[in-house]
Structure 1
């Protein structure tokens, strides 16, 4: 197996339980992929996702791979409110966790009568899209006739526009035409941007993303998401999965028309070939040695469209105030301009900034300090539509923009600052969006099985796309394909 990301480890644990001998080769020094951590002076921060929105994925993994459930290994609970939102016009609203009625009431109170009802009705249409696409999109291997998922599952309203009847095709159009309040449209656009999607072009089916969050809730693991990664890693070890860290894979070995092993690169093992009956690639195309595992007519990766994430880790003196929201989103006054910058290789003047302030003693040295994380979706590192994130001046300018945006949330942020650490897409890579139906299949990801028998793809760049929950789903799909072969019809 190539890579020790969350999807690869989810597949490894399931395969080991099914009787396979599994060895994972990871080029870095640790497990977890994008689910990383940074520690200094008693402070600890997640450097990847800060919340989990579909915990059932990892609960199922632990149920299928051992007796001890996930909740016996980590302390996990819903954050409430799920999120606080500050809009450019000064509107401030906190949305309760996993309560559609509560969200409707909160939006009505903050945005005016009718706003909550429009959002609730929109979520009802998003639920219809979920029911239509959930299983083939998330729980089954990508069909050979994947083109059927190119049909738009979101039942957009028919509206009179420019002298003719039209339906919203993009998420931005859903927000502008159906929600009828620029703040609700901003709420929707910001959700898409957080997942690495351009709301101006993402299909209307991206409505599934806020639906999933508000239906299944926002969950935090004590110790951060890194604690979840550690729990999955330890479950792999318990099932006798072997890990080889610092081992870069140069390519996949083909023999008799199928994948037959790996060739290692660099170090004392450089050039050594490791035999294997099956190969699972969880590190994108970098470990395939130039091999392209798809053929004409297959879904191709859309990595060139994926943005990055800019993160500022703040060590603050002073206690976290009682009643502080775990997650606050400070919205851009113009998400269309922000998206144009992010996907056009520029720095947004006023980006959407997420402020994470966990109530977790393990993240700080004591009760009179606080660990805060600021994040924004930004252009990726390098490439025709990227930025040079190794430029120190650019890094500092972007960090200052995020800190300034966070001042309405933490007014004394500069006075309390002990130190800060900056992470850019140059260090953390790209944000791989989840797969979406609609738009002719443009937002699907490559199938987990490939044109080369014995070679499988797992993780954010493969079906069903990126995100912590989706990675766990990809691991279940790959394990099912290997264990059950052509008879596998999807997760149960």
Structure 2
């Protein structure tokens, strides 16, 4: 039985802690803030409740596996999962509206044909078939296995089997997500639908590899889920599972560095100068949080830089949620190129009318009574950007396309900026990590879960396999596997 110190109480770090504790280890978690969950937080005021981090859960199988492996109570005994249907309602720049069914290829094809015209659904359906090939080729190395030492193979190989495109008498295959849209979808609304999945993770579709096609496929294949009471309830359930397995939590305990002894990790040093000795250390925080970061081996993946952030506006409304309202509406930018230039150009700034995701959960736990509604607006913004009340007003203006009489119903609103994310997570500029993706010369891979320092491991969104709730949860499984089974561990079978 080893003594294991875990740095940070994010969801990925807690997933590792629970798995390690059930394997018989003594696990202690050190969290610099006063609560668990990392970016998965909740804001409450006047009887309203809002998720200030992720609002929906893709690929819930990751957390079902966590709860099965760490106790008798399955996930559904600890939280109530609700499949969101439609998966999303899309409002395009030309006024076209398309509600898309959850986890139904035939339903999505029919819905797009009806909304965008005959043939649109077929092109999207054909794209999903190719996206599935990319998923099948990368699922294990990018989600279920530790990052291979020869990770350069993933960096060089493009797994998306795009259709050839003739240009200048030469046959080419799509190398970016934008090229997939232009060559294979051939409709600005389908292009916007495709690129919105990359934009939600802070990725520029003009630079994101074609392998980013797995992002819409993941949602299509495994559905979109909501946790009753908000995603914060998932973090609570993971925290309580840790407590049930006798994981110790130390809140308000800022770790400044990893203690080394005889060439191994031997504990953590706290901001007050004390040392907590340990046989193994799991680091679950963003790059730059520790004064002395983990050493990297030569040729290792470099931590992702330049990730985007999010602006979130929380709306408290008078009047109940109308029957039949979609849980999620994506309001697409009127000028997509201007939005991308503003986000990813040399002089980054927030677009005045960005793509906005409107979440309107049908959840009595989030409102004081049936005569009120809680709505969350989110938009991707540059990390470190100086957002203010004017930018929040821009999001509200965009959301009026999705919520009739929004301003007349508005009681108050709260804003969460990149600076707020930075305060909670410690990530520079409030950056939010993207999931790991193949190709792109490895720019969208994340550092391995093992490190150059024996006894030190990495979990959470800033390590393999990257950001997003499913990926963070899987990082915990990979770290636990490497510690329990050793370096020969090759993932779940």
1:51 aligns with 2:56: yes
CA contact (8 A) 2:294 2:451 kept: no
CA contact (8 A) 1:305 1:343 kept: no
CA contact (8 A) 1:200 1:336 kept: no
Counterpart for residue 323 of structure 1: 324
CA contact (8 A) 1:251 1:287 kept: no
Return 285-294 or 160-169, whichever deviates more.
Answer: 285-294
1:108-134 CA distance string (max 9 Å, x none): 000010100000000000000111111
Counterpart for residue 377 of structure 2: 374
Counterpart for residue 74 of structure 1: 79
Specify whether residues 163 and 337 from structure 1 end up closer, same or farther in structure 2 by C-alpha distance, changes over 3 A only: farther
CA contact (8 A) 1:251 1:262 kept: yes
Counterpart for residue 113 of structure 1: 118
Q: Within 2, Cα distance between the matches of 1:365 and 1:191?
A: 33
C-alpha displacement of 1:287: 4.5
Dislocated runs of 4+, deviation >6 Å: none
CA contact (8 A) 2:9 2:284 kept: yes
CA contact (8 A) 1:2 1:282 kept: yes
Q: Within 1, Cα distance between the matches of 2:58 and 2:8?
A: 24
- The SS at the match of 1:213 is helix
CA contact (8 A) 2:352 2:391 kept: no
1:240 aligns with 2:246: yes
User: Can you give the 5+ residue segments of structure 1 that lack an aligned partner in the other structure?
Assistant: 382-386, 390-394
Q: Within 1, Cα distance between the matches of 2:237 and 2:465?
A: 23
Question: Given the two structures, how large is their TM-score scaled by the length of structure 1?
Answer: 0.96
Counterpart for residue 263 of structure 2: 257
1:487 aligns with 2:492: no
Q: Within 2, Cα distance between the matches of 1:300 and 1:422?
A: 32
Q: Within 1, Cα distance between the matches of 2:281 and 2:9?
A: 13
CA contact (8 A) 1:316 1:371 kept: yes
C-alpha displacement of 1:411: 1.8
CA contact (8 A) 1:281 1:287 kept: no
Question: Given the two structures, how large is their TM-score scaled by the length of structure 2?
Answer: 0.96
Counterpart for residue 464 of structure 1: 465
Q: Within 1, Cα distance between the matches of 2:202 and 2:296?
A: 24
Q: Within 1, Cα distance between the matches of 2:249 and 2:293?
A: 24
1:21-59 CA distance string (max 9 Å, x none): 000000011000011100000000000000001000000
Q: What is the alpha-carbon root mean square deviation over aligned residues? A: 0.9
1:59-111 CA distance string (max 9 Å, x none): 00000000010001111010110000000101001000000100000000000
> Could you tell me which of 389, 404, 407 is aligned with 1:411?
404
Counterpart for residue 431 of structure 1: 432
CA contact (8 A) 1:46 1:225 kept: yes
1:327-383 CA distance string (max 9 Å, x none): 0000012333212212232111220000000000000000000000000000111xx
Q: Within 1, Cα distance between the matches of 2:289 and 2:244?
A: 26
Counterpart for residue 392 of structure 1: none
